[in-house]
Amino acid sequence: MKLLEGIRVVNLAVNLPGPVAARRLHQMGASVVKVEPPAGDPMESYSKTWYADMAAGHTVVQVDLKDPAGLARLHAYLSEADLLITASRPAALERLGLGWKALHERHPALCQVAIVGYPSPRQNEAGHDLTYQASLGLLTPPHMPRTLLADMAGGEQTVEGALALLLGRHRGLGSGYCEVALSSAAEAMAEPLRYGCTVPGANLGGGCPEYNIYPAQDGWVAVAALEPHFKKRLEESLVVGTDEEYRAVFASRGAVEWQQWGQELDVPIVALR
């Protein structure tokens, strides 16, 4: 369902997570104008296909906001918009006359979600996905993270904030402003670790044989028979119970074979890609 049909979004954010959020809002029916700097979005140089996927269906324009004519062009878009997404530091937006107070006075119907690195009063500190994950204990040196967890979580929180602001405006509360701090988004995703559930040896950190990864004949398998009915079905079928027994059994077949076996038994077992 296109629940946001008729909603107009202007996205000033490049890289991630602003474009991820704008893509989701577009999928929900909103129209999106993506305003890029004259040099374009750096994301296009990192991954042309991902950039194109995130911008699909958007009106993409390049505007120099340091030029008065460019700034006037942006305000023309904002005069018709319901929502603005930004990812520049608040101090930089203030210098351009795009702080929330000035925007609200000029465009009273406009809502804004501002993506920042850290929550108040640290909104103007520099940071990136890698440093947010590092500070939360989510990295295992020397390996780099497999996903951009803070950015992707921040994109989801941006969508949540946008929907809340638009709903509030619809209910007569007027337009509003909210900040999404990527460090806080990463911290929310790190909650299982913070509560000790996924630390090494914990129930979800390798301490349960029924919820673990095992070497197979030709790869690895992930076994997630955590619920009692899954565990009972698995252990009765394989006649296992200890970690050593689990390891010995799963080493006896190929990973894909185990995945197929799990599907037949209705137990979550997947071959690692």
Is 86 a domain residue?
yes
- Please list, in sequence order, all residues whose beta carbon lies within 8 angstroms of the beta carbon of residue 182, skipping any fewer than 6 positions away: 17, 115, 116, 117, 118, 127, 129, 132, 150, 151, 153, 154
Is 167 a domain residue?
yes
Is 2 a domain residue?
no
Residues 102 and 75 in one domain: yes
266: CATH: 3.30.1540.10
Strand partners, 113: 85, 178
Mean pLDDT of the chain: 97
Q: What is the pLDDT of residue 191?
A: 97
162, 192, 222 — which closes off a domain?
A: 192
Is 249 a domain residue?
yes
Residues 65 and 169 in one domain: yes
170, 192, 214 — which closes off a domain?
A: 192
Query: Average pLDDT for residues 249-266, to the nearest whole number?
Result: 98
Residues 32 and 157 in one domain: yes
Residues 134 and 238 in one domain: no
Q: Give Cα 99 distance to the centre of its chain.
A: 25
Is 3 a domain residue?
no
Is 31 a domain residue?
yes
Residues 184 and 212 in one domain: no
Question: Are the C-beta atoms of 272 and 255 separated by less than 8 Å?
Answer: yes
The pLDDT tens digits of the residues spanning 111-165 come to 999 999 999 999 999 999 999 999 999 999 999 999 999 999 999 999 999 999 9
Q: What is the pLDDT of residue 186?
A: 98
Residues 120 and 228 in one domain: no
Confidence of residue 62 (pLDDT cuts 50, 70, 90): very high
- Find the radius of gyration of the CA atoms of the chain: 24
Is 92 a domain residue?
yes
| Residue written as token pair 């914990």 | 202
Total of domains in the chain: 2
Residues 137 and 210 in one domain: no
192, 223, 256 — which closes off a domain?
A: 192
Q: Compute how many other C-beta atoms are within 10 angstroms of the C-beta atom of residue 257.
A: 15
Question: Are the C-beta atoms of 30 and 166 separated by less than 8 Å?
Answer: no
Distance CA 189, CA 44 (A): 27
Is 199 a domain residue?
no
Residues 125 and 156 in one domain: yes
Residues 130 and 215 in one domain: no
What is the DSSP code (8-state) at residue 145?
P
Residue range(s) defining the domain that contains residue 112: 8-192
Q: What is the pLDDT of residue 1?
A: 74
The pLDDT tens digits of the residues spanning 214-234 come to 999 999 999 999 999 999 999
